[in-house]
Amino acid sequence: MLDIHSKPDASEHNVHGLERASSLAGGAFMISKGLRHGGLAGILQVAVGGLALMRGVKGHCSAKAWLQRHRNELHDLRSDIEGKAADLAALKANADVATRTVTVTGNDSLNSPKL
């Protein structure tokens, strides 16, 4: 499970470039808008703006890290399924080849009356 309370290392930065700048600008905008608006809606805007601003300052987003990890797991599962589908197709092709030359006469020992 992802620990969202641990401090990210410098190597764990997952917010870069324009995304980071957008978080900084959007966070500052939301904080100023929330302070001007006031009330419960203003408090929520300040909170969301603070989170966006923190995301931009730290360069790390726990939600994005969680999504990336699960997307990688899904990609691995998809690769495994595609590999197993290829194995199954090869087995089917082998079975088709093996049964093309077989003739069933109905005179096999399993159907003979037992004495």
In a domain? residue 46:
yes
**What whole-number distance in Å separates Cα of residue 79 and Cα of residue 87?**
12
What pLDDT is stored for residue 100 in this prediction?
83
What is the residue type of 64? K
Q: What is the pLDDT of residues 14-61, one digit of tens each?
A: 888 999 999 999 999 999 999 998 899 999 999 999 999 999 999 998
In a domain? residue 103:
no
Q: Are 51 and 27 in contact (CB under 8 A)?
A: yes
User: Is residue 50 domain-shared with residue 65, that is, in the same domain?
Assistant: no
User: Is residue 37 domain-shared with residue 66, that is, in the same domain?
Assistant: no
User: Is residue 17 domain-shared with residue 33, that is, in the same domain?
Assistant: yes
Number of domains in the chain: 2
Closest CA to 13 of 57, 51, 53: 57
User: Is residue 51 domain-shared with residue 90, that is, in the same domain?
Assistant: no
In a domain? residue 77:
yes
What pLDDT is stored for residue 1 in this prediction?
46
User: Is residue 53 domain-shared with residue 83, that is, in the same domain?
Assistant: no
Q: What is the pLDDT of residues 54-108, one digit of tens each?
A: 999 999 988 888 888 899 899 999 999 999 999 999 999 998 888 887 776 766 6
Residue 111 scores a pLDDT above 50: yes
Show the domain range for 44: 13-60
For residue 100, CA distances in Å to 8, 96, 112 come to 61, 6, 25
**What whole-number distance in Å separates Cα of residue 29 and Cα of residue 56?**
13
User: Is residue 53 domain-shared with residue 78, that is, in the same domain?
Assistant: no
User: Is residue 51 domain-shared with residue 69, that is, in the same domain?
Assistant: no
**What whole-number distance in Å separates Cα of residue 113 and Cα of residue 3?**
70
